[in-house]
Amino acid sequence: MSNPRKVALKGSDRVPLPGARPIGPTDPHQLIEISVILRHRQALAMASTSGKFLSHHEFAAQYGADPTHVDMIRKFAEQSNLQMLERGDEVLRRTVTLAGTASKMEKAFGVELIDYDHPDGNYRGRTGTIQIPEEIAPVVQGVFGLDDRPVAKPHFRYRGNSRAFGTRASNIAYTPVEVANLYQFPQDVNGAGQVIGLIELGGGYRPADIQEYFQSLGLQPPQVQTLGVDQAKNRPSTADSADGEVMLDIEVAGAVAPGALIVTYFSPNTSRGFQDALSMAVHDQLRKPTVISISWGGPESTWTQQSMQNFDEVAQEAGLLGIAITVAAGDNGSSDGLSDGQNHVDFPASCPHVMAAGGTRLLTANSSITSETVWNDGAQGGATGGGYSTVFARPAWQTNDVSQSTRGVPDVAGDADPETGYKVQVDGQQLVVGGTSAVAPLWAGLIALLNQKLQSRIGFINPLLYQMEESTCFRDISLGNNGAFSAAPGWDPTTGLGSPQGIQLIQAVEEMMSQQGVNQQTRSHSSS
């Protein structure tokens, strides 16, 4: 066993970032932490739409990692002179953390680590595939952390950066409360008893900003807690940083559901950080999020296959636990910001086990919607993401709406045009912001209100949404395009099913769950 036969880890291929320049080998003494993801004990079941969900204990027993597989990685670590950092949730999260020097990591995983210079910052990278011992290959699904390049971008845009056409410039802006009222969110619930998790790959918030902002809205500030993942922390700096993303998420979700607890999961902007952040949030047994909002992403073609597969599997785990996940669909139209002449959708919005949120331009008069069209301010101003995945097959619940054979994005929509944007406060500044980053927490807040109404977790809601009567539950967007794709009656790859008509949507969910025989007692028991 001193020199075991190694095989390539499927889906782990890496190439340097475009524009990256190799500086030289990574310092062999540099300490590195990685996450090794193990396979499930058995294949994951479909998420329930009947209000019956697993507890974390039940999930670990049925679907968590096999303890003997954890022992196999422990033995591999010892033989490779790596340290296993035990957290106690290895079986539940199927994640084993290993630490060691760069030289030991290179030897253990058959890689060469190189430091790269890049316009967006230096990073430690690798090329080719990760190699793992043949003995553990059947139980390992992913290895993350050897390469620490940035993988995602926040999907928000300040109004000042969005004006592509002078004629489109406007003074229209709404508070999140006004947007919720326009979309007829229910007024008799406030998200009490719900927990909204926010995944943040950078930036931070200042409690004084939160206090001041919600006082200006006449609302009690929500309770906000922070959990650091992989040594990340809440690190606010300036308004032109990722602070804009963090504050937008908190302020939109908190304004829609001020009674909910908001938990921000800060992690490094790496494939390991993103994977671990979602896994930590989904399996947070202390705070127990009921809905998770993600406003970060990047084109599918920039991710490894192992990243997309493993991330989507954690999203599927969320559904079994009764947790909904909302994800911004991207702000760069049908190309998703790439200049290769091809159409691309944003990941993780393209995951089949999340609700992808696209963007609209929202005009009003006398507190009523007068016009809602696809958000598209041109190449520089931004446009809603949308299109068809090249990775994930079309889910069964999209069969009647999506003509192509792959996952259609987005599922739903909401106001995202910075020219009809949201009034926020970031690092002491009053700003107007847009982007599909606003739509993900908007829908997360609505789901929190829905959960409170039902006195239960709704969990993975997409199968129910696609069964609804669109004319009453959604405002169908039929004008505009995001580049290659145009709006059309019914679902389309610009704004999905449309923007929410909150009260009608909640009533439809209640009726569906009632028809499935979910009584109050069962729901209350399943959410405890």
Residues taking part in catalysis: 245, 249, 437
Report the C-alpha gap between 266 and 225 in whole angstroms. Answer: 11
- Computed on alpha carbons and rounded to an integer, the radius of gyration of the chain in Å comes to 22
Cα distances (Å, whole numbers) of residue 54 to 47, 59, 291: 10, 6, 15
Report the C-alpha gap between 342 and 344 in whole angstroms. Answer: 6
Residue type, 506: I
Whether 449 contacts 456, CB under 8 Å: no
Helix extents (H) in 305-368: 305-320
Instruction: Name residue, tokens 């035990």.
Output: 86
Strands (E), 287-400: 291-294, 296-299, 324-328, 346-347, 355-365, 368-374, 387-393
Helix (H, G, I), strand (E, B) or coil at 323: coil
Report the C-alpha gap between 395 and 386 in whole angstroms. Answer: 16
Residue type, 408: G
Helix (H, G, I), strand (E, B) or coil at 103: helix
Q: Indicate the burial class of 511 (C-beta count within 10 angstroms; 0-12, 13-18, 19 or more).
A: exposed
Whether 170 contacts 146, CB under 8 Å: no
Report the C-alpha gap between 40 and 180 in whole angstroms. Answer: 39
Report the C-alpha gap between 357 and 330 in whole angstroms. Answer: 9
Task: Estimate to the nearest angstrom the gap between the alpha carbon of 331 and the chain centroid.
Answer: 14
Report the C-alpha gap between 156 and 436 in whole angstroms. Answer: 7
Report the C-alpha gap between 368 and 167 in whole angstroms. Answer: 23
Instruction: Name residue, tokens 């079994």.
Output: 320
